[in-house]
Amino acid sequence: MKKRAIVILAQGCEEVEAITPIDILRRAGIEVISAGIGGTTIKSSRGIIFNADVKIEDIDFVPDVVIVPGGMPGAENISQSEKARHLIRDAFAKGKIVAALCASPAVVLTPLGILHGKKATCYPGMEESFTPDIKFVDEKVVQDGNVITSKGVGTALLFALKIVEALSGKAVADTVARAVVVMP
Residues with a catalytic annotation lie at 102
> Under the phi-then-psi rule, with left for phi > 0, alpha for psi from -120 to 50, and beta for the rest, what region is 174?
alpha
Nearest to 147 by CA among 65, 90, 82, 80: 65
Could you give the count of Cα atoms lying within 13 Å of 175 in the half-sphere of its Cβ?
Answer: 11
DSSP summary character for residue 48 = -
Rounded Cα–Cα distance for residues 134 and 64 (Å): 24
